[in-house]
Every structure is written in C-alpha cells, then in structure tokens.
Amino acid sequence: MAQDNLSALLVKPKDLRLVQTPIPEIQEDEVLLRMDSVGICGSDVHYWQSGACGHFVLKEPMIMGHEAAGVVAKTGSKVKHLKVGDRVAIEPGVPCRYCDFCKTGRYNLCPDMVFCATPPVHGNLCRYYKQAGDFCYKLPDHVSMEEGAMLEPLAVGVHACRRAGVTTGHTILVLGAGPIGLMTMLSARAMGAAKVLITDVLQSRLDFAKQMGADHTLLVGKDSNEADLVKKVHEILGCHPDVSFDASGVVSTVRLSLLATKSGGKALMVGMGSPEVAVPLAGAVAREVDILGIFRYVNEYPIALSMVASGQVNIKPLVTHHFDLEQTLEAYETARQGQGIKVMIHVQPRNTNNPVKF
C-alpha cells in the first residue's frame, strides 16, 4: 500500500493546508478506507473562516471533511459484513453505544459522540481514514461514490421530515434553498408531501429548486414585509402549511416559520444560525404550533441509501462543482463564495470507483 496520506488540515482559521499524516492502524471492529469523494458542508467553511461552528471551537489543527464515501482497503477481524473493495458511504459520527441516548435509540444525542471534522475530532478529507465497520454502508453498483457522500446531507433532510411526521398529502414550506433546504424538500416529496413551497434570497437557487421538484418558489428580499410574506405564503399554497422547515437559521426565516405554520402544525429548525433569536413565541404557542429542533440524524443512513438506490430521490444534480484533493483550497473558496449547490472533492480521480459511469 502506498504511504501517501495527503490530508486537508485546518491548522488555524483561514489556514487550510495539504499535509501528509500517518495512515491509521485499525482495531478489530474497524475498517481502513481509501477515501473517494468528500463534499464540503457549510460547517467546514465556518471552521475554515472563523475556527468555530455553534459551540464547537477549533483548538488544535484538524483534518476537514465529513460528507464522504470510500472503498474498503482493510477489514478488522470482527467486521463480517464488508470486504476489501466494497464501496461504502461513511456515517461520520460514532456514538459511545453505552449511554441512555445510545441505548434508547437516539444516538445522535450521545454526549460522547465522535464526529468527523468537529473539534477535536479529525475528518476524512484525506487518502486513508479508519471508521467503525458498522457505520459504513455498502453501496450498490448503480449508486455513485458522490451519491454515497451526499447521503450525509440527505440524512439531515430525512431526519427533519421524520421528526416532523411528514406524510402523504402534507403541504410543506421550506425556508432556504441551499443543500439542506433542497434535501429536506426532496425527502418531504419522497414521503408523500403533496405541495412544497420553497423560499430563498437568490433567484438562481429558486430556479434550481423548481427544476428539482418544488411546486412553488418565493423570492424573499432583505426588506420584505413580514406580514406580507406570511400572507403570500398562504396565498401561494392555498392553505397554511402543515409543516414549515427553517433551513436558513436567520432570524427572519425562523420568525416566518412560526408565523406561517398552520395552527396545530409543526415548525422545524434545521438551519444553523445565531444561538439566540427573537421570535414571536406566544402566538405560535397559543396556536399549538410544535417547535422542534434536530441534531444531525439517527438511524437514517440506511433510509437515505434506499431512497437513492430505489430512485425515489435524485440527488445527483445537487453536485455542481468538482475538484481534486490537490485543489482543496480552490474548492473551499468556491464553497465560501456560495457558487452552485454542493462542492465535491474527488480524492481519487472522478469515476475511478463508479462501476456505472456518470
């Protein structure tokens, strides 16, 4: 095996470098992966620019990347469901397995979760990475490595829709047409939503959302009047949405999600915004709008994979930019500028591990 383990290391804010790191040694329940595709998440850009995302703060140099797929290069003796050469999607967080949250099936809330590219844990934007075998999901031949990497943001959308209880016939409002808003929209559709309205501040994102299946779009200006927007949402949908998803995290969309949701409906906070926002809480509470949060995903990788493998969702078009590992800085700059939807880094030349060429 080549000793090359080129890795994208964030040394300190605004100082991202490609450096060699040791190839990890695996334990008996782990696999060594030859990394293939790694997407850039909004949080990666936050860490790069400011050294922080939410309450997680960079204190030591950290390898980036958590939306990833790779190929099994070595298996530990206890790993029976995978073999060398298997193409896998990598669920990036491994919980402790022992706490009450883990034991009651809500491992995403485990306080000892080890999650890729969340300080102080290294990510997988490197050539070789080791992972617990049971957090790797074998991809069928017709699912590409890029789709494998994209299961990560899709799992966020699936989790949001499951928390909200999205079901057949629901009318849905999605605030924000970035990757997470789009994944939430696609998941809601796959779960039977009848009508989806998506909003954004950029017309280009709305045009893309329309191509991806949004029934309605609404361009929101920075100076839009809040009451007018609520009225417009109800007019466009012809009703009040059963479920609203805030996928932006900015105060104006969090407020809109509470104001626009049908009485007795659900408002889901999916976006990562400022820690404190002023919201019209009393009105929402009095109308029995359930306000829910999400934290990543739990048990949703297999669901996301079967949605893609069965053709229920098509996430391929969301990958709008492609770079090689050596071009990581350019890739991060593209993501920072908010061009396109998803920037994908190919650790191995594109299509090397796709039996069906895309």
Q: Which residues here bind Zn ion, judged by CB under 5 A?
A: 41
222 binding partner (options ligand 572, Zn ion, none; Cβ < 5 to 8 Å by kind): none
How far apart (Å, rounded) are the C-alpha atoms in residues 12 and 48? 8
Q: Which is nearer to ligand 572, 147 or 152 (CB)?
A: 152
Q: Contact, 149 vs 344, CB < 8 A?
A: yes
CA–CA separation, 136 and 334 (whole Å): 29
Q: Are 325 and 344 in contact (CB under 8 A)?
A: no
Shortest separation between residue 297's beta carbon and ligand 572, angstroms:
8
User: At its nearest, how many Å lie between ligand 572 and the CB of residue 54?
Assistant: 2
Find the shortest distance in angstroms from Cβ 206 to ligand 572: 23
Provide the minimum distance between the beta carbon of 307 and ligand 572 in the complex, in angstroms, as a whole number.
17
Residue 156 binds which one of ligand 572, Zn ion, none, with CB within 5 to 8 A depending on kind? ligand 572
At CA 220, angle to CA 282 and CA 224, rounded to 5? 65
Cβ at position 182, least distance to Zn ion in Å: 14
Residue whose CB is less far from ligand 572, 43 or 299: 43
> Rounded distance, CA 247 to CA 173, Å?
10
**Burial annotation 38-53 (CB, 10 A radius, 16+ → b, else e):** bbbbbbbbbbbeebeb
Q: At what angle do helices 179-190 and 203-211 cross, to 10 degrees?
A: 30
| CB nearer ligand 572, residue 32 or residue 63 | 63
* Residue whose tokens read 């109800």: 234
Residue showing the smallest CB distance to Zn ion in the complex: 41
Which does residue 296 bind out of Zn ion, ligand 572, none, counting CB within 5 to 8 angstroms by kind?
ligand 572
Quote the least distance from Cβ 156 to ligand 572, whole Å.
5
Place of tokens 């790069």: 48
Give the nearest distance from C-beta 271 to ligand 572 in angstroms.
8
Alpha carbons 64 and 241: distance in angstroms, whole number: 38
Instruction: Identify what 98 binds: Zn ion, ligand 572, none; CB under 5 to 8 Å per kind.
Output: none
- The CA-atom distances, in angstroms, between 110 and each of 86, 96, 105, 240 are 29, 7, 10, 35
Q: Which is nearer to ligand 572, 194 or 272 (CB)?
A: 272
Query: Is the CB of 75 or the CB of 118 nearer to ligand 572?
Result: 118
C-beta of 150 vs 193, nearer to Zn ion? 150
Binding stretches for ligand 572 (CB under 6 A) = 41, 43, 53-55, 152-153, 156, 272, 295-296
Q: Which residue, 108 or 354, is less far from ligand 572 as judged by CB? A: 108
Could you tell me whether strands 15-20 and 6-12 are parallel, antiparallel, or unpaired per DSSP bridges? antiparallel
Residue 358 contacts which entry, ligand 572, Zn ion, none (Cβ below 5-8 A, type-dependent): none
